[in-house]
Structure 1
Amino acid sequence: MLRSVLSVIAATVLFSLANGAFAQKGTVYEPSAGNPGPSSGKIAWYGGKFNGRKTASGERFNASAMTMAHKTLPFGTRVRVTNLKTHKSVILRVNDRGPSSPDLVGDVTLAAAKKLGMAHSGIVEAKLEVVGRTPKRTAHKS
């Protein structure tokens, strides 16, 4: 009986992770549906050692791209991120899961951090607003 229960739990977690969920310290964050309202919190930037590695969406990480990691927003979601200190903002596309710190609401690339004026400080308070979704690419038949 215990083996059956554990199998069901394991299958549920694996299914969730395969659908873009993010697990952190025993908590599974499911991608959100719909358009959540604006949120705010601390963001950080990441890059360097991650450059060229696969992101959770399967894309290669590119520190020069205008992308970000978020725990629950679906991949392809476009988010306006505003640095609450400088009031600079950028529109980023979610292509990764994270951040790994429970104190952060998002991670942005170095390129985004520079435009937000946070490359030197590393962590800032920011406002996140969903502004749309990147259309899915379709194969062209000739």
Structure 2
Amino acid sequence: MKWNVQRGLLLSCCLLLAACSSQPEAGKSGNWRGYTQTGLASYYADRYHNKKTASGELYKSNANTAAHMALPFGAMVRVTNLANGKSVVVKVNDRGNFPRGRIIDLSRAAFSSIGNTRSGLIKVKLEVM
């Protein structure tokens, strides 16, 4: 009986730790290809045009670029709008400090190619290529 309780507690702790992990397994191994994520996308305000990004590149509102919290700079990511099926490929060149649920910040050009900028946020799926 004591052994089953201890085993149950250990299993519960392991499951809890796995659920709380903020770093995806792909990132730990260094291989992001095929990694997917679902959440909300927003887009950069125009005031950031020609400002330096975290990678050192200048943000261009007409380029297909994005900010992500963990993906490496230079990663190519297919972003698909889950409401209409439209997708765009972007290059990660910036970091972000996003509110809960938001996973990527797209350039204006990338966002407008898959959704209406008046909506502000869209639900998307990311796939690292």
Q: TM class, shorter-chain normalised? A: 0.7 to 0.9
**Alpha-carbon offset, residue 99 of structure 1:** 4.2
- What is the correspondence of 1:76-115 to structure 2 with a 5 Å cutoff? 76-115=74-113
Structure with greater helix share of residues: 2
Greater Rg by CA? 2
Higher relative contact order (CA 8 A, sep 6+): 2
The counterpart of 1:50, out of the listed 42, 48, 51, is: 48
**Alpha-carbon offset, residue 116 of structure 1:** 0.6
Normalising by structure 1, what TM-score? 0.67
Q: How many residues align?
A: 104
CA-based RMSD: 2.1
Task: Return 5+ residue gaps in structure 1 as ranges.
Answer: 1-28, 132-142
Change (3 A) 1:86 1:99: farther
**Alpha-carbon offset, residue 119 of structure 1:** 1.2
Task: Return 5+ residue gaps in structure 2 as ranges.
Answer: 1-22
Identity %: 40
Match of 1:126 in 2: 124
Normalising by structure 2, what TM-score? 0.74
